[in-house]
A and B are shown apart, each in its own frame.
Chain A
Amino acid sequence: PKSKAAAAKKAALKGVHGKSVRKVRTSAHFHLPKTLRLSRKPKYARKSVPHLPRMDQYRVVRNPLNTETAMKKIEEHNTLTFIVDVKANKHQIKDAVKRLYDVEALKVNTLIRPDGKKKAYVRLTADVDALDVANKVKRILVIYIDTN
């Protein structure tokens, strides 16, 4: 009895044939409707542990060059030359030199040698002397030899 009354009420209010309202279209084109986009909630990490940084400063810079032209560059142009990993880019080289030797680089120029290795000319800022840094590197060597 109650359900009958409710149905009758609904029929009276809404009419027996329910009318579906048509959406007002203000544009002549149909564009993709915006749907719900959920963010990821993975049930498990795909890789158990993220890898240690692969291109750390020790990998980027291999060794400094001490050829005659390299020496000339140190004295005249305040630049250090390094052999560098082939996959390193200039930003990485600049960062690596900063971490290893505590010096700021003004600019880095790179080239790939015919033997497949990458050479980087690292121009240091004017307040640092390339000759000092080069000697400091040798001094670091001496300290390591002593601890052994």
Chain B
Amino acid sequence: MVAVKAYELRNKNKAELLKILDEQKQELASLRVQKVAGGSASKLHQIGLARKNIARTLTVINQTQREQLRLFYQKKKYIPLDLRVKKTRAMRRALTPFEKKLKTQKQQKKENHFPLRKYAVKA
């Protein structure tokens, strides 16, 4: 069994990828039948390879899909929740850097009039 290569898959379009995925699943199904019917050790080894092939195809499908979606939503105001930054719940609700650096006018004036002075000792 050939191991599909991910970089080859990335050139394909969605319909082809889905077809490849279907074929891989059929191979896996037939291998499972052989396992029950007492397959040779080499055939049983192929099962692992088939599973990973399916995983690779699915990864490529999902990765390209999400990448395209991110491009699509780049300029938009609202983006789907699973494309948003995950971080942690608390960090998402924390003040933004802009909000953190806001100062009252009173404080701004104080800082302007009484900045931190630097002194040097004359040697």
Contact = CB atoms under 8 A, between A and B. Distances in A.
Contacts of A58: 25-26, 28-29
Contacts of B65: 49
Contact of A64 (B26, B33, B76): B33
B30 interface: yes
Interface in A103-135: none
Count class of interface residues, chain B: 20 to 34
Interface string B3-38: 000000000000000000000011111101111110
Contacts, number: 52
Count class of interface residues, chain A: 20 to 34
A141 interface: yes
A144 B82 contact: no
Nearest to A65: B36
Interface of B: 1-2, 25-30, 32-37, 65-66, 69, 73, 76-83
Given A44-B80, A48-B80, A58-B26, 10 more contacts: A43-B77, A43-B78, A47-B80, A48-B69, A48-B83, A56-B25, A58-B25, A58-B28, A63-B35, A140-B30
